[in-house]
């Protein structure tokens, strides 16, 4: 059995997010950072440059004139959206590294996180009228602790997944087989990566059911996104649906008309978002 801190230490020694991603997070937290600073960091990673230009010129944005320079692409996307793209690009490579027969699949987990991130961003912007970039980042990072578990204690993690029934909480099985859970590990990793406190807390608490959940908080947005996408078949484990805190159930009931429109639009939005990261 390992503690969350021990998982993080071992995982950092094995693999973590690349320097470019952590440096982008650091610069976003620094009010003195300029767009030129961001451009200089992006230039260090040729793969990210290609992805950046592909993203800006994709159907997702539908620009009439192609963008061919890094500086224009960075200016168009903005700093926070750029960080989200960099994190997503890095995670895709980590998530798809291994062939995964059986109940757990890195490919399925990647799809789950990508879909939850898209849904979280849409929820933030359409339902709560707030900027969706941090909500997106919560969605793409929220289950990263599972990758650390699978890489460091693979057999125990797979045993936890195999024991998890549709009505169970994976967290309880993780704690039984591993001694900790992916939320605690992800929380510590998000601190290492310099993510903001609300993002850290959302990653830590996205499976925590409370009686005082505030629907517009990042934690609640992430929980709602997991629930909605789980109902659409995008759970990280087959047939396992994440429950909602009682105030969020009431929130959904009271705003069902808005949510029905959002859910109707969601498949198209998911397809657009995923197309950016197709190999």
Q: Give the number of other Cβ atoms within 10 Å of residue 265's Cβ.
A: 12
Is residue 98 very low, low, confident or very high in pLDDT (cuts 50, 70, 90)? low
Residues 216-232 have a mean pLDDT of 96
User: CA 48, 203, 174 angle in degrees (round to 5)?
Assistant: 110
In this prediction the pTM is 0.79
Q: pLDDT value at position 101? A: 62
pLDDT higher than 60, residue 213: yes
pLDDT-based confidence at 158, cuts 50/70/90?
Answer: very high
pLDDT digits (tens, 9 = 90+) for 32-74: 888 788 778 777 776 677 777 877 777 767 777 888 777 888 7
And the tokens for 139?
A: 């969605």
Per the model's pLDDT, the better-predicted residue between 240 and 82 turns out to be 240
Residue range 213-225: average pLDDT? 97
Query: Where do the domains of the chain lie, and which CATH numbers do they carry?
Result: 4-16+99-275 (1.10.3210.10)
Instruction: Supply the mean pLDDT for the chain.
Output: 85
Annotate 22-60 with DSSP letters as a single string. Answer: HHHHHHHT-TT--HHHHHHHHTT-HHHHHHHHHHHTSTT
CB-based contact 81:135 (threshold 8 Å): no
Average pLDDT of 21-41?
77
105 pLDDT above the threshold of 80 = yes
pLDDT (0 to 100) of residue 36: 81
């Amino acid at each position: 059995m390992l503690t969350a801190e021990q998982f993080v230490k071992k995982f950092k020694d094995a693999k973590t997010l690349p320097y470019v991603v952590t440096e982008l997070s650091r610069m976003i937290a620094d009010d003195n950072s300029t767009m030129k600073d961001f451009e200089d960091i992006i230039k260090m990673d040729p793969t990210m440059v290609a992805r950046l230009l592909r993203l800006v010129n994709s159907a997702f944005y539908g620009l009439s004139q192609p963008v061919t320079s890094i500086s224009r692409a960075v200016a168009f996307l903005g700093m926070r959206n750029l960080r989200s793209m960099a994190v997503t690009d890095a995670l895709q490579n980590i998530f798809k590294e291994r062939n995964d027969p059986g109940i757990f699949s890195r490919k399925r987990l990647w799809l789950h996180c990508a879909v939850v991130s898209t849904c979280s961003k849409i929820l933030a912007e359409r339902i709560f009228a707030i900027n969706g970039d941090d909500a997106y980042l919560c969605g793409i990072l929220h289950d990263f602790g599972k990758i650390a578990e699978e890489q460091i204690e693979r057999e125990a993690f797979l045993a936890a997944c195999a024991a998890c029934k549709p009505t169970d909480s994976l967290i309880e099985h993780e704690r039984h087989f591993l001694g900790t859970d992916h939320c605690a590990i992800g929380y510590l990793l998000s601190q290492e990566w310099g993510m903001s406190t609300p993002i850290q807390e959302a990653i830590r608490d996205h499976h925590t059911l409370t009686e005082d959940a505030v629907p517009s908080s990042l934690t609640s947005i992430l929980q709602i996104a997991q629930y909605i996408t789980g109902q659409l078949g995008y759970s990280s484990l087959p047939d396992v649906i994440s429950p909602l805190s009682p105030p969020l159930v009431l929130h959904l009931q009271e705003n069902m008309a808005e949510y029905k429109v959002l859910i109707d639009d969601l498949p198209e939005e998911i397809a657009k978002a995923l197309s950016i990261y197709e190999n």
